[in-house]
């Protein structure tokens, strides 16, 4: 059985109140995920600026974002 790391994320009340759907919460979580942001920065710095970028569809396969 594979162990899945569990993290606690504090979502500000203003986000919970203003979110109109679970997709809104998913978007907020992705935009505040340090690992996701690090991957985006790495791709931007190492690949895009070097002209070796990946198609966004390939990148998004690694992340639960629609």
Domain ranges, ordered by start, for the chain: 20-60
Mean pLDDT of 9-38: 89
- pTM for this predicted structure: 0.53
Question: Which residue has 């109140």 as its token pair?
Answer: 17
Q: How far apart are CA 32 and CA 34, in angstroms?
A: 6
Q: Name the average pLDDT for the chain.
A: 79
Question: Which residue has 């992340």 as its token pair?
Answer: 63
Share of the chain above pLDDT 90, in %: 21
Given pLDDT bands bounded at 50, 70 and 90, which one contains residue 7? confident
Tens digits of residue pLDDT in 24-55: 998 898 888 888 888 888 887 877 666 666 67
- pLDDT, residue 42, reads 83
């Amino acid at each position: 059985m594979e162990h899945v790391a569990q993290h606690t994320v504090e979502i500000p009340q203003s986000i919970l109140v203003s979110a109109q759907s679970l997709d809104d919460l998913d978007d907020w979580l992705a935009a505040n995920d340090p690992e996701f942001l690090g991957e985006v920065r790495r791709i931007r710095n190492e690949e895009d600026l070097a002209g070796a970028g990946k198609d966004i569809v390939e990148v998004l396969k690694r992340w639960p974002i629609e």
